[in-house]
Amino acid sequence: MTDAPHTPDASDTSLPPNTGSPTPDEIACDIFCAVIDNFGDIGVCWRLARQLAHEHGWQVRVFVDDLHAFARLCPALDTTAATQRVEDVVIEHWHAPSHAGETLQIADVVIEAFACELPPVYVAAMAQRTRAPVWFNLEYLSAEDWVADFHLRPSPHPRYRLTKHFFFPGLGPGTGGVLKERDLDAARAAFERSPEARAAWWRDTTAAPPPGPDATVISLFAYENPAIDSLLAQWRDSATPIVLLVPQGRISGAVARFFGLPSFDPGAHAARGALRAHGLAFTAQRGYDLLLWASDLNFVRGEDSFVRAQWAARPFVWHIYPQADDAHLPKLDAALEHYARPLSAEARAVLGRFWHAWNGRGAPDWPAFARHLPNYSARAASWAAELALPGDLAGNLAEFAKTQLK
Ligand code: TRH
């Protein structure tokens, strides 16, 4: 353990009972995160944890069961430490489902991410607390309409005097919104304004200078995807240069095969026709935004990169996390409905076909998509403004928690 965990609280009956409502820096918050696969679960929790700590002054502790996945996004993490503090957040290795820290301390606000189950001993202690904690189940993001009806619905515990609230992220009014740091737009504007910062990024990331204005820069973060072969061939045959940036991941193998290489690891470079590709290292989470800002078009996946691409205010193509029985397809269409709404019928249809093709329905038509890129760029900017309307998720969650703690 490298640092003391956050403040003790009234679940410890030896302490005086909790009376008045806590001031912001006294609010202790525990986030429980089980990593199902990939990086999205911990990606969302880590972003939320930092925002609650840095922007709201909360004392945040994250229980996470997979420190190795976490370390990919946060290289400062010590994967052998049971407890550590990183960026003012306490990280507990949630090494067993029953584990709830070395000493049982119950926070004012408890967030179970994506319906992971809290340790039973922790829930029992929550019920013993003088003032019941504010308990959230943070759900996965969906753009579907029903989300607004279910957001913040209370669910009383069947046995204990506890109420859990379902917190639904969403793209529209009445939902919990999506995560957005207060300084994000300013950081993006500074990067966009600074040719030096962009040149340095290109040099450090690809060992190449920034491409000329006629090139289309594309970042590619995706699951394995059968549409990639056809798309790479269309980019090779494009009338204008395409620069492809591929962070190391599940689609790297297909890119390597296209170029006849054994792998496409960080530092790899290859060119065919109009297509030039660079293999990139998987960066710390903050660094991923720069890749989105340096690109004209971003292929993203899952949940967190999908949201970041929207804040980057550039066109994007979403590889949605595939679910059994194609349950993900209505979610894909719901997102399209929000995002594509003001586009012309033709631009909307082309975008819909392209997103569908990237998600296993049909073949991608790059020339048609590329023709509409200026429309998609304009829409990306207006969409980022619309997406901000429900407010930032961390702020919305903190506001609601405070009303419950009064
Ligand atoms: O990794 P994902 O596919 O994650 C998930 C999980 O599969 C999860 O189980 C599923 O439920 C959810 O999707 C919907 O995609 P996502 O959500 O975009 O998370 C990727 C994270 O990785 C995101 O926080 C950005 C980060 N990242 C980096 O930090 N550095 C990088 O170089 C890249 C490419 C990404």
Q: Report whether pLDDT(327) > 60.
A: yes
Distance 145 CA to ligand 1 centre (A): 24
**Confidence at residue 23, expressed as pLDDT on a 0 to 100 scale:** 73
Residue 3 within any structural domain of the chain? no
**Residue 158 burial (10 A CB sphere; 0-12, 13-18, 19+):** exposed
**Confidence at residue 20, expressed as pLDDT on a 0 to 100 scale:** 55
**Confidence at residue 200, expressed as pLDDT on a 0 to 100 scale:** 97
Task: Report the C-alpha gap between 12 and 232 in whole angstroms.
Answer: 60
Residue 29 within any structural domain of the chain? yes
Q: Which of 37, 39, 41 to mutate to test the pocket of ligand 1 (most atoms within 8 A of CB)?
A: 39
Distance 258 CA to ligand 1 centre (A): 24
Q: Which atom of ligand 1 is closest in space to residue 280's alpha carbon?
A: 32
Looking at every residue in the chain, the average pLDDT score rounds to 94
pLDDT digits (tens, 9 = 90+) for 240-254: 999 999 999 999 999
pTM over 0.85: yes
Based on the fold, state whether residues 279 and 173 are members of the same structural domain. no
Contact by Cβ (8 Å): 228, 202: no
Q: How many domains does the chain have?
A: 2
For 175-183, what is the mean pLDDT? 98
Q: Report whether pLDDT(11) > 60.
A: no
Based on the fold, state whether residues 40 and 88 are members of the same structural domain. yes
Based on the fold, state whether residues 196 and 318 are members of the same structural domain. yes
Residue 16 within any structural domain of the chain? no
Residues having CB closer than 6 A to ligand 1 are: 36-41, 43, 73, 140, 221, 247, 282-283, 285, 288, 301-306, 321
Based on the fold, state whether residues 194 and 171 are members of the same structural domain. no
Residue 99 within any structural domain of the chain? yes
Confidence grade of residue 5 (pLDDT, cut at 50, 70, 90): very low
Based on the fold, state whether residues 86 and 218 are members of the same structural domain. no
Residue 283 within any structural domain of the chain? yes
Query: Percent of the chain, pLDDT > 90?
Result: 92
Give the full edge-to-edge strand order of the sheet including 154-156.
83-86, 89-93, 59-64, 28-33, 109-113, 134-138, 163-167, 154-156
Distance 19 CA to ligand 1 centre (A): 40
**Confidence at residue 358, expressed as pLDDT on a 0 to 100 scale:** 98
pLDDT digits (tens, 9 = 90+) for 363-375: 999 999 999 999 9
Task: Report the C-alpha gap between 344 and 207 in whole angstroms.
Answer: 40
pLDDT digits (tens, 9 = 90+) for 247-295: 999 999 999 999 999 999 999 999 999 999 999 999 999 999 999 999 9
Based on the fold, state whether residues 137 and 223 are members of the same structural domain. no
Based on the fold, state whether residues 379 and 398 are members of the same structural domain. no
pLDDT digits (tens, 9 = 90+) for 214-247: 999 999 999 999 999 999 999 999 999 999 999 9
Q: Any catalytic annotation for residue 386?
A: no
Which stretch of DSSP H or E encloses residue 217? strand 216-220
Q: Report whether pLDDT(128) > 70.
A: yes
Based on the fold, state whether residues 259 and 365 are members of the same structural domain. yes
Confidence grade of residue 196 (pLDDT, cut at 50, 70, 90): very high
Among 41, 65, 108, 112, the one annotated catalytic: 41
**Confidence at residue 103, expressed as pLDDT on a 0 to 100 scale:** 86
**Confidence at residue 21, expressed as pLDDT on a 0 to 100 scale:** 66
- For residue 95, the enclosing domain spans 24-179+391-405
For 139-163, what is the mean pLDDT? 96
Q: Any catalytic annotation for residue 303?
A: yes
Based on the fold, state whether residues 202 and 345 are members of the same structural domain. yes
Residue 161 within any structural domain of the chain? yes
Nearest CA owner, ligand 1 atom 28: 285
Q: CA of 261: how far to CAs of 215, 254, 275, 287, in Å?
A: 24, 10, 15, 27
Based on the fold, state whether residues 77 and 160 are members of the same structural domain. yes
**Confidence at residue 57, expressed as pLDDT on a 0 to 100 scale:** 97
Residue 126 within any structural domain of the chain? yes
Q: Report whether pLDDT(75) > 80.
A: yes
Q: Cα 323 from chain centroid?
A: 18
**CATH number (domain holding residue 250):** 3.40.50
SS3 string of 305-356?
A: HHHHHHHCCCCEEEECCCCHHHCCHHHHHHHHHHHHCCCCHHHHHHHHHHHH
Based on the fold, state whether residues 127 and 262 are members of the same structural domain. no
Based on the fold, state whether residues 277 and 167 are members of the same structural domain. no
Distance 400 CA to ligand 1 centre (A): 27
Residue 14 within any structural domain of the chain? no
**Confidence at residue 4, expressed as pLDDT on a 0 to 100 scale:** 34
Confidence grade of residue 26 (pLDDT, cut at 50, 70, 90): confident
